[in-house]
Amino acid sequence: VFASSSVGGLSGAFIPVSEDAAIADAASKGLLTLEKLEAMTCVCSVGLDMIAIPGDTPADVISAIIADESAIGMINAKTTAVRLIPVPGKTVGERAEFGGLLGGADIMAVQKGSAAGFINRGGRIPAPIHSFKN
């Protein structure tokens, strides 16, 4: 708490799939899936970080993943974030190299199906309320 009040930014752990060789290796072997990483956000992470997904993933599906992470953040009263990388022309199992510190990652599977009905409903996820006192 002391450090985050002085420095700013997020005070939590990201699990950067493309930026960490061991994590990227686990993901390429199927030991880490998008769903597993999302579940980990509930207890030990700030969000989904540097995850390569198929370039043809529909916008509504990406929006639903972001909504899931927002809901996790709201219910757990913590900051969450998402850095998904749709890679044009790539499909599950292919590799994307981003270069430099960004590393590379195998394209991870995204659940099939449409989230359009849910996403097109609109609305918002409210910030958590801790108190009405000043």
Q: Where are the domains of the chain?
A: 14-111
Q: How confident is the model at residue 13 (pLDDT cuts 50, 70, 90)?
A: low
Q: Is 127's pLDDT higher than 70?
A: no
According to DSSP, the residues that pair with 86 across neighbouring strands are 53
DSSP per position, 61-97: HHHHHHHHHHHHHHHTTS--EEEEEEETT--TT-EEE
What pLDDT score was predicted for residue 94?
95
pLDDT digits (tens, 9 = 90+) for 68-90: 998 888 888 888 889 999 999 99
Mean pLDDT, rounded, for 16-40: 87
The C-alpha atoms of residue 83 and residue 50 are separated, in whole angstroms, by: 5
pTM of the model: 0.77
What pLDDT score was predicted for residue 12?
62
Q: Is 92's pLDDT higher than 90?
A: yes
What pLDDT score was predicted for residue 39?
86
The C-alpha atoms of residue 111 and residue 60 are separated, in whole angstroms, by: 12
What pLDDT score was predicted for residue 1?
45
